[in-house]
Structures are given as structure tokens and as C-alpha cells.
Amino acid sequence: MIGARVFCITPTLQRTSSIFFFPKIPTRPVFRFSPVARSIVAMSSTTTSKTQEELDSIFKQKRVVRSTVRKSLKAMDPSLKTQQDDAIQNTVLEAPWFKSCRRLCAYISCKSLNEVDTSKILSEILKHPDTMAQKKLYVPRVEDKNSNMCMLHISHMDDLIANSMNILEPASVDAQGNEREDVMQADEPIDLFILPGLAFDRCGRRLGRGGGYYDTFLKRYMDRAKEKNWSNPLMVALSYSPQILEDGSIPVTPNDVLIDALVTPSGVVPISPRAIERM
């Protein structure tokens, strides 16, 4: 696929500049932690006050960035948003890395949250299993208010129901009353995660909406993959143009999971070495 290749300067990989416009969000300097996957951080008695101050500063920066990006998304022209939805979804559906995947987790977009639409991607998988190479699809279900969610297997769009937030998610049991398969109990690894987010940059930083659901789940899944000696899935996020920010504008903590690539209205932005190789 022809797409924009955007790189970030790291100690091990040199990346050139992007053709995208990345609006600058004013924040204090970002504390640079090593790019580790999310882990639940418990502040022990040995934690210094300076470290707590740094974390508090980062959380405050995140709130500032979230507020700015939400305003930008709310101000997007609806027709432009529709055009970008179509372009992003078509890019995914036509991508070799998507066509070749057999098991994937994908989010169900919510219009009120201004998330990139995934309805076409999901319906194509579920309506045309033959042309989609019989992909096995798992989608999120929120379990509680403590950042816990699961990913359950669905076979039809009718498997989805609206929760208390009017967001579609799978019922815990199917039409026959059988419990749906949880990806955490699956016998085979996931090839691809299609992820939402509020903001992203070219270094793989992803800013969620503050609940911590995806970072918590992704850490759990990667721990399971390590146990099973599976390769980690390709982490691909979908992004409108205003969500792509200047490098360093997204504050991070050791809890934050980095993405491998972005799909934007202008094409694919591979970030990690394996994404660069595969995309």
C-alpha cells in the first residue's frame, strides 16, 4: 500500500519528517520514560515526592491536551469527518496487513465520542466472511468502572447491544444463552488490534480519554502472549487529522502502551520497526 511513512528519532532508529500537519499543543516539557507497555503502577512508601510531583504534572498536561483535542474534534465539519471516515476505513480494508490477519480485536466506534468510524470495517468482516478470509473478531465490553474491560467474540452485528452510555457492546451471552468466547481464554493469538484514542504522535504515543481501559487490557493481553510465547499483535490506531499532534506534545507515563502505526486520512503511518517492515 502506498501511504505516508513517518518516522520518529529514537536512539535506535532515525525517522524523517512527515507530510502531515501536526498542530502544536502548549505543554510543559514532557518527562521521557522508556517506551514500555502499560503496567499498573503502585506508589509505594519508597516513592519520592519528586516522582509523585512529576506524575501529577504529567496528568495535568494530559488534561490540557485532551481539552484542546476535544475542541478541535467538535469543530470539525461533519462532511469532512465523513470523508475522513471513508478514507481511513477504505485504507484499512485494502491493506495487506489487514487482509492477512485471521484474528483481530477492534473497537466499536461511538459518534458522540467523535471516534473514527469502524462500522464499515466491522460489517465487512461479519457480512462477508469468505472475502474477509473468515476473520475472527473480538470487540470490547466494559466490565466495571475500575478500568477493566474484556474482548468478546461476535459473529453478527446483531450481537451488539447498547450499554448505559448508549455505546454498542457485545452481550455477555449469545442468542442460545452460551457465554461468548473471551479473547483472554482463546487458544490462538491475536494478529491485529484496531485501537481508538483521543490524540497520537509520530513516535507511537497514544492519549486515551482518561479511563485507562485500553492500556490496562493491552498490558494484560501482552502478559498472556508472553506466557504463551506468542508474538505481540500489531497495534494500529485510527486517527482524524486534528488528532495527530506534534512530537512531544503528548505526555506519557510508564503505564502508557505505545502503538505500532496510525491510519490517517492520508494513508498509513508506520512507527515501530515491525510496522515499518510489514507496512
| Residue reference for cell 480519554 | 209
Collapsing DSSP states into helix, strand and coil, what is residue 264?
Answer: strand
Q: Report the amino acid identity of residue 84.
A: Q
Task: Return the pLDDT at 132.
Answer: 54
Top-confidence residue, 51 or 140: 140
* Overall pTM > 0.85: no
Which residues neighbour 46 within 8 Å (Cβ) at sequence distance 6 or greater?
none
Where along the chain do its domains lie?
60-278
**Cβ contacts of residue 140 below 8 Å, gap of 6+?**
105, 107, 108, 149, 150, 151, 169, 213, 217
Q: Is the pLDDT of residue 14 over 80?
A: no
Report residue 40 as a C-alpha cell: 499498573
pLDDT class of 29 with cuts at 50, 70, 90: very low
> How far are the Cα atoms of 13, 37, 38, 90, 208 from residue 7, in angstroms, in the given order?
8, 20, 22, 23, 22
- Domain 60-278 listed as CATH 3.30.950.10: no
Residue scoring higher pLDDT (83 or 171): 83
pLDDT band at 100 (very low <50, low <70, confident <90, very high): very high
Question: In angstroms, rounded to a whole number, what is the distance separating the alpha carbons of residues 57 and 72?
Answer: 23
pLDDT single digits (tens) 144-194: 888 899 999 999 888 999 887 788 999 888 888 889 999 999 999 999 999
Kindly report the average pLDDT of the chain as a whole number: 83
* pLDDT value of position 133: 59
